[in-house]
Amino acid sequence: MNPYYFALASEKFLLRQEPIEEILRERTKYYEYMNKPIDFWLIKPNLFLEVPEILEVGKKLSGPIAAVISTNVLFITWLKLRLSFVITGSITKTILK
């Protein structure tokens, strides 16, 4: 089972204060150009965010949370550098399949 890496932030910050839509759109175009499969997803509150490990991290944030998850650790590391105010980590769960 491969790990999933995440960049977690408050929904307000990630979806309204940062250009996440533009970042993900550009990344999607790049993947299409390179003929690579998409390995990242933007998720709002759902089952993934209710995993105990994520709930513990989410306690540090106020309000609803959102995340970008990926199988590519380098992309998540880059997002952390680009967005600054996100919490990163990884998880290996069958719930994500």
- Return the CATH number at 59: 3.30.70.1860
Biggest CA-to-CA distance, the chain: 38
pLDDT at 47: 59
pLDDT (tens digit, 9 = 90+) per residue, 10-34? 888 988 998 899 999 999 999 999 9
- Going by pLDDT thresholds of 50, 70 and 90, the confidence category of residue 52 is confident
pLDDT (tens digit, 9 = 90+) per residue, 61-71? 777 888 899 99
Strands of the 4-10 sheet, one edge to the other: 40-43, 65-70, 4-10, 87-91
Choose the weakest-confidence range: 4-13, 29-38, 48-57, 73-82.
48-57
**Which backbone phi and psi does 46 adopt, to 5 degrees?**
-160, -165
Distance between CA atoms of residues 70 and 62, nearest Å: 23
Q: Answer for the pair 87, 9: CB distance below 8 angstroms, yes or no.
A: yes
Read off the tokens for 76. Answer: 């998540």
Which domain does 32 fall in, by range?
4-96
High-pLDDT (> 90) share of the chain, %: 46
How many domains does the chain fold into? 1
pLDDT at 82: 92
Average pLDDT (59-81) is 89
For the cut 70, the answer to whether the pLDDT of residue 93 exceeds it is no
Distance between CA atoms of residues 94 and 67, nearest Å: 18
pLDDT at 64: 83
